[in-house]
Amino acid sequence: MQRLLIVDDDEEIRSLLQKFFQRSGFETDTAASGADMDARLSRARYDLVILDVMLPDEDGFSLCKRLHAAGGTAIIMVTGVVEPTDRIVGLELGADDYVTKPFDARELLARVRAVLRRSESSAASGGQSHAPMLRFSGWRLDIVRRELRSSDHTLTPLSGAEFELLVVFAQHPRRVLTREQLIDLSRGPRHEAFDRSIDVQVSRLRRKIEEDPGDPEIIRTVRNVGYMFNATVERT
């Protein structure tokens, strides 16, 4: 049974979502603040955290950044603010998806399942149709362990969305891919994404794998088309 943690300061929302996800087959815990979240995480491992932006102590963006740095847990952020800049900030900090209030619980359930399914299918594909290890430009991408390590074996944390996108790039080297193709290949053809989501993910990856993110050599922009992974990839 997959385990979720719902972090929201609204007691009614926490209770309703906890009951809904438990009926949907998830083991579900709740937290009312950042401190409560930390306490929960110290006692258990969660597959995904549903994280509200507005909290009484540490805000959701800061918590998202900490969760992403720790790695291993998918993140869906929830907010009542509909500004696109907030979505971009959430994705920049490592969120795998973003939902605005008010939302239908069934929509949130679908997004939770989609994020978890992407993680599972990627790990499974590593041992089947694709090589479990991809090497490029001094980097080592372990598909089974879902890890990216540098030439000196330092682990570079990736969000679930960043990992999926990097796998797609590495499996299609020196091919120009449109933004639509990247969304379909990394998230599935039914996934809805706003216009800048792929650009945000690419920007985050560049900051992690490029020597000079301002003048990228590995992930190049193809003007008016999309992106190309400009590296030789070894499969082992």
Give the CATH number for residue 150: 1.10.10.10
Structural domain span for residue 165: 128-235
Question: What confidence score (pLDDT) does residue 125 get?
Answer: 46
Pull the structure tokens for residue 18. 């906890």
Strand partners, 156: 148
134 in the same domain as 165: yes
109 in the same domain as 199: no
pLDDT in tens, 154-198: 999 988 888 889 999 998 899 888 888 888 777 664 455 555 778
Question: What confidence score (pLDDT) does residue 59 get?
Answer: 87
218 in the same domain as 175: yes
211 in the same domain as 134: yes
Q: What is the mean pLDDT of the chain?
A: 85
Per-residue pLDDT, averaged over 40-60, amounts to 91
168 in the same domain as 115: no
100 in the same domain as 173: no
Question: What confidence score (pLDDT) does residue 131 get?
Answer: 53
Percent of the chain with pLDDT over 90: 47
Separation of alpha carbons 171 and 36, rounded Å: 40
221 in the same domain as 187: yes
118 in the same domain as 85: yes
The answer for residues whose C-beta is within 8 angstroms of residue 41's C-beta and 6 or more apart is 5
How many domains does the chain divide into? 2
96 in the same domain as 11: yes
pTM for the model stands at: 0.60
26-35, 81-90, 106-115, 141-150: the lowest-pLDDT one? 81-90
Instruction: Please say if the pLDDT value at position 122 is more than 60.
Output: no
Q: Which residue has the higher pLDDT, 235 or 86?
A: 235
Separation of alpha carbons 177 and 219, rounded Å: 11
| Range among 27-41, 140-154, 190-204 with highest mean pLDDT value | 27-41
Q: In Å, how far are 37, 62, 70, 88, 136 from 45, measured between CA atoms?
A: 11, 20, 12, 27, 32
Per-residue pLDDT, averaged over 53-80, amounts to 87
- Minimal CA–CA distance to 97: which of 186, 22, 172? 186
Question: What confidence score (pLDDT) does residue 225 get?
Answer: 85
Per-residue pLDDT, averaged over 196-210, amounts to 90
